[in-house]
Amino acid sequence: MSKEMLKQSMLMAVENQLKSNDPPETAATLQRLMKEGYSRQTALEMIASVLIGEVFDVVKSNEPYNEKRYVSRLHQLPTLQSDDEA
C-alpha cells in the first residue's frame, strides 16, 4: 500500500469515527484544532496521523487497539504532530 493510499484510508477511518461519534474525542479534537486556527483538512490529517501511529503500535506489539492510548495522543495534538506524519 502506498503512503497516499494509507493516508486516504486513515482519513476515511477518521471520517467514520466522526460520523459514529466513536470515540467522541475525535470530534472534540477536530473542533479544538479548528478553533486553534487549523483548517478542517489539516486537523483531519493530524488526527489521521495519530490513528496511523495507533495502527502501527497494534501491528508492532501484536496487541489489541488501545483506545485510551489513542485518545491520550489526540489530546496531545498539535504538539504530537511531526512534519513527516500523515
HEC secondary structure over 16-84: HHHHHCCCHHHHHHHHHHHHCCCCHHHHHHHHHHHHHHHHHHHHHHCCCCCHHHHHHHHHHCCCCCCCC
- In this prediction, residue 78 carries a pLDDT of 94
**Given this model, what pLDDT does residue 67 score?**
95
| pTM assigned to the model | 0.88
- Express each pLDDT in 29-49 by its tens digit: 999 999 999 999 999 999 999
**Using CB atoms within 10 A of its CB, is residue 84 exposed (0-12), middle (13-18) or buried (19+)?**
exposed
81: confidence class by pLDDT, cuts 50, 70, 90: low
